[in-house]
Structure 1
Amino acid sequence: MRTIVNFQTDLLRTFVSVIDLGAFTKAGEALGRTQPAISLQIRRLEELVGSPIIKQVGRTLLLTSEGEMLLSYAREILRLNDEVASYFDRSKIAGVIRVGLPNDYAVAFLQGVITEYTRQHTEISLELHCGWSAEILDRLHADELDIAVAMVNGERAQYLSRSWIERPIWAAAADVGVDTTVGVSLAAHPEGCAYRARMIQALDDAQIRWRVAYTGSGIAGLQNAVVNGLGVSALTQYTMLPGMRALDERDGLPPLAEIRVGLFYKHPRLSDAGIGLVNHIISRLDEAGVSSSPRSRYSELDRR
């Protein structure tokens, strides 16, 4: 008979808290335990795993490869555990939730998902903050945001819960032709935008001349620039509008590199209302078929 190893949620919660808060003492303060008790729980978890999961370099805590794998599963297990606990808790879900969304990504779908949740829970006050992905993640690290959606730099980014791939689409006005032999006019977000960088890189690699004809930080302004024929741009399926058409290699434009987008949060810092919103976002992403589970995410890595 196969031996079942039971990863207790209190051990996993301690592990996630240590990593998210960056110290055993901070995790102990958040969980109401002493530092020796936290260390004992981490050792117990390492016994279950069969190898070290955390290594300390100076004052910095780093994950081993086994720890990286366990962390992804631990976040998912705790999210589901807290979802069940919230379901049977009859108290109202209330409070302020601060969410960061990136300028350089299609936020319309996510804004709809988030506001859908707040309409279901009227005691929640929502604060939406938009900015560049790097800025949003900095604010999450500084505890100025509770939940963030941002571009993922590296497969195993800190506080990452779920991720999904977006393949940018070249978009142009429906009635405007594009002649790559004479150069391409671009409508783009300012420097620092992942979509802008991918357009320029693709055109440079294909040795196609380009110039930036429109620059603006808002998605609406960018869409209007494309519809009005000021330039072509990189958009997603969610931000294509009537009056636009998608371009590809048949139009002389090279493919754009994919972008990985992630949902980030610090589990020990998140309220019940925040956990509920995370669960709602993940549910909608799964329904749309765009998010990847921890297992599929690491299976993809194993194939590389």
Structure 2
Amino acid sequence: MAGITNLPTDLLRTFIAVVELGGHSRAGVALGRSQPAISLQIRRLEDLVRAPLLAQEGRAILPTPAGEALLSYAREMVRINDEAVSYFHRSEKTGVLRIGLPTDYAVAFLQSTLTRYIHGHAEVELEVHCDLSRELHQHLRSDDLDIIVAVMSGATMPYLSRMWTEQPIWVAAEGLSLPSHSPIPLGAHPEGCDYRARMIQSLDAIERRWRIVYTSPGISGLQAAVVNGLCVSALTRATQLPGMRILTEADGFPALEPLRVGLFYKHPRLSAAGLQLVSDLVADMESVGSGIHPVPG
């Protein structure tokens, strides 16, 4: 059709690599091209979109406002391209994939995705690492993990592919009595957990006394402590178990601040097997609720 501009995926892939890897030289190494070839591709892309996409700030190469806007489109266009190609190259999906999942988030549906993936790709070895979200982000930056799902500390973050919101809820055992004159017994993940911080901030805001009586790095331990009446905690509806009741403002528990959760990966570093898993995760995330959406441009 006359007047339509097509953005070649090879140019978009180069642009993503320069941004995510921090420069033309590193992008060239990852993509098997020389630095002049990388620079030429960036100029061709800038000509197509009619805007400068990268700016030099000291030693750093950063996206311009136009580059930031293009980046989210580029990631999605390249991901869909690679998903289509990987369908016809299924035999190449081999190797090891290192996945990071947070201890402070309901990962039940993600674990089912991983299980289905393992059953369908016996040639791929999957390694799952659970930790606090802040640690997962650090592991991704240092290339110790390939894909992570983690709570976001800001509205935008590097390597973000998908973002959705989760509403934490207060839960307690059905028969647990909570006298108003006594400190609330809290169960939480270790210091640094976003749910822990939200519980404390919420109770401090209404000047309600509390004390940490149970700490566990895993969700199952925390669930058991709540069901057994040892503590009150904050979970998501996906991790609420029989025997728990939801506590609301009528019970003296103010609503908790929602959480932003993201799917993160470095596209230039990811194998065909990794790209297929990302597509599977995206499909599952989009099936569980309307709070899930692509990264805005």
| Range of TM-score over shorter length | over 0.9
Larger mean Cα displacement after TM superposition, 90-99 or 161-170: 90-99
Name structure 2 gaps, 5 residues minimum: none
Superposed displacement of residue 90, structure 1: 4.8
1:178 counterpart letter in structure 2: L
**Who is 1:247 aligned against?**
247
Write out aligned runs for 1:115-264 (5 A): 115-264=115-264
- Provide closer, same or farther for how the CA distance between residues 75 and 180 of structure 1 changes in structure 2, counting only shifts above 3 A: farther
1:94 counterpart letter in structure 2: T
Distance in 2 of aligned mates of 1:22 and 1:95:
26
Using the size of structure 2 for normalisation, the TM-score is: 0.96
- CA-to-partner distance for each residue in 1:36-95, whole Å, 9 max, x for gaps? 111121122222222222111111122222211211111111110000001122524221
Distance in 2 of aligned mates of 1:96 and 1:179:
52
On the 8 A contact 2:92/2:272 being kept in 1, the answer is no
Provide runs of 4+ in structure 1 moved above 6 Å: none
Q: Report the secondary structure of 1:292's partner residue.
A: strand
Give the aligned length.
Answer: 296
Distance in 2 of aligned mates of 1:60 and 1:92:
35
**Who is 1:62 aligned against?**
62
Distance in 2 of aligned mates of 1:143 and 1:169:
34
Distance in 2 of aligned mates of 1:203 and 1:63:
40
1:111 counterpart letter in structure 2: Q
1:34 counterpart letter in structure 2: S
Superposed displacement of residue 234, structure 1: 0.6
Instruction: Output the aligned Cα RMSD.
Output: 1.4
On the 8 A contact 2:97/2:124 being kept in 1, the answer is yes
Distance in 2 of aligned mates of 1:181 and 1:76:
53
Q: Report the secondary structure of 1:125's partner residue.
A: strand
- CA-to-partner distance for each residue in 1:90-130, whole Å, 9 max, x for gaps? 52422111101111112222111111111111111110111
On the 8 A contact 2:168/2:256 being kept in 1, the answer is yes
Using the size of structure 1 for normalisation, the TM-score is: 0.94
- CA-to-partner distance for each residue in 1:152-178, whole Å, 9 max, x for gaps? 121220001001100101010011133
**Who is 1:96 aligned against?**
96
Q: Report the secondary structure of 1:190's partner residue.
A: coil
2:160 counterpart letter in structure 1: L
Distance in 1 of aligned mates of 2:190 and 2:146:
26
Superposed displacement of residue 243, structure 1: 0.6
On the 8 A contact 2:83/2:276 being kept in 1, the answer is yes
Distance in 2 of aligned mates of 1:45 and 1:177:
64
1:293 counterpart letter in structure 2: P
Name structure 1 gaps, 5 residues minimum: 299-304
Distance in 2 of aligned mates of 1:76 and 1:178:
48
Distance in 2 of aligned mates of 1:56 and 1:23:
10
Distance in 2 of aligned mates of 1:145 and 1:185:
35
